[in-house]
Amino acid sequence: MKFVDLYDLFVFDLDGTLARTREDLAESVNHALEHLGQPRRALAEVTRFIGNGARLLLERALGPKASEPLLAEGLRIFLEHYEEHCLDRTKLYPGVLEVTAALAGAGKTLTVLTNKPTSMSLKILRGLGVADRFVRIDGGDSYTRKKPDPMGLQEHMAACAIPPGRTLMIG
């Protein structure tokens, strides 16, 4: 039995799994920081901040002493910039086209579950030409709780009628 035969549902994360998005994320973080009169952050530093959604990304970039109004303004600026520039440097990782095609060709169900807002996730996946490979694409605004909370994953399994033992989360 092949490894792939063990699963029917493959749930992918987006950032750092399907696509290299860190440069565009970092540029949008730095755009927001500059707009707020804060120092820029290095790519490696911003990369460490990625995960758990945009608000936490900005919290980490601004530091623990950032006020709520500063954070809210930074998040607004970041999201506006990222919406326009989320495909400037973002690329699929090598092998993503081949792996997703092979899985779909083998009759597997593919979905995306990310903490990135749904509209931006769709824009990125459409722009990279792979959105149609996924039967469901949900972002951090799709549920009341973000990953790593299991709510979204449980919803994907229920919607696809595939049990946990036949599901693999990738990312």
What's the angle, vertex CA 160, arms to CA 129 and CA 171, rounded to 5?
Answer: 55
Question: Does residue 141 carry a catalytic annotation?
Answer: no
End-to-end CA distance of the chain, in Å? 23
Q: What are the pLDDT digits (tens) for 45-89? A: 999 999 888 999 999 999 999 999 999 999 999 999 999 999 999
Q: Does the pLDDT of residue 135 top 80, yes or no?
A: yes
What global pTM score does this model have? 0.93
pLDDT category, 9, cuts 50, 70, 90?
very high
Q: How far apart are CA 5 and CA 127, in angstroms?
A: 30
Would you say the C-alpha torsion 141, 147, 152, 156 has a positive or negative sign?
positive
Of the candidates 84, 91, 146, the one whose C-alpha atom is nearest the C-alpha of residue 113 is: 146
Out of 13, 15, 24, 138, pick the active-site residue: 13
Mean pLDDT, the chain, whole residue set: 96
Residues across the chain? 171
